[in-house]
Amino acid sequence: MTGASERPGEEAFLAAYDPSAFPPFALTVDLNIFTIRHGVLCALLIERAGHPFKGFWALPGGHVEHGTENADTAATRELNEETGLDWSTVGGHLEQVKTYSDPGRDPRMQAGLHVASVAYFALAPDLPDPQAGSDAAKARYWPVEDLELDIQRAAWLDGHPYAGEAPTLGYDHAVILSDALERVRAKLEYTTLALQFVSEPFSLADLRRVYGAVWGRVPDLPNFRRKMLGTEDLLRPARKSDRAASETGGRPPLLFERGSAQWLSPPLMRGEPDED
pLDDT in tens, 16-34: 877 677 777 889 999 999 9
* Residues 60 and 44 sit within 8 Å (Cβ to Cβ): yes
Q: Are residues 169 and 234 in the same domain?
A: no
Residue 50 has pLDDT above 60, yes or no: yes
Has residue 268 been placed in a domain? no
Q: Are residues 165 and 231 in the same domain?
A: no
HSE value, Cβ hemisphere, 13 Å, CA-based, for 266 = 5
- At 272, is the pLDDT very low, low, confident or very high (cuts 50, 70, 90)? confident
Has residue 269 been placed in a domain? no
Residue-wise pLDDT for 207-262, tens only, equals 999 999 999 999 999 999 999 999 999 999 997 655 544 454 556 558 999 999 99
CA distances from 113 to 30, 64, 116, 208, 245 (A): 18, 15, 10, 46, 61
Residue-wise pLDDT for 93-117, tens only, equals 999 999 999 988 888 766 667 889 9
How many separate helices (H) and strands (E) can be counted in the chain?
7, 9
Q: What is the model's pLDDT at position 3?
A: 61
Q: What is the mean pLDDT of residues 65-79?
A: 93
Q: Are residues 91 and 145 in the same domain?
A: yes
Q: Are residues 170 and 244 in the same domain?
A: no
Of 170, 167, 127, 118, residue with least CA distance to 144 = 167
Q: What is the model's pLDDT at position 74?
A: 96
CATH code for position 51 = 3.90.79.10
Has residue 104 been placed in a domain? yes
The whole domain housing 228 covers 191-258
Has residue 263 been placed in a domain? no
d(CA 45, CA 57) in angstroms, rounded, equals 6
Give percent of the chain with pLDDT exceeding 90: 62
CATH code for position 242 = 1.10.10.10
Report the amino acid identity of residue 28: T
Q: Which of 174, 209, 238 is at the close of a domain?
A: 174
Q: Are residues 106 and 204 in the same domain?
A: no
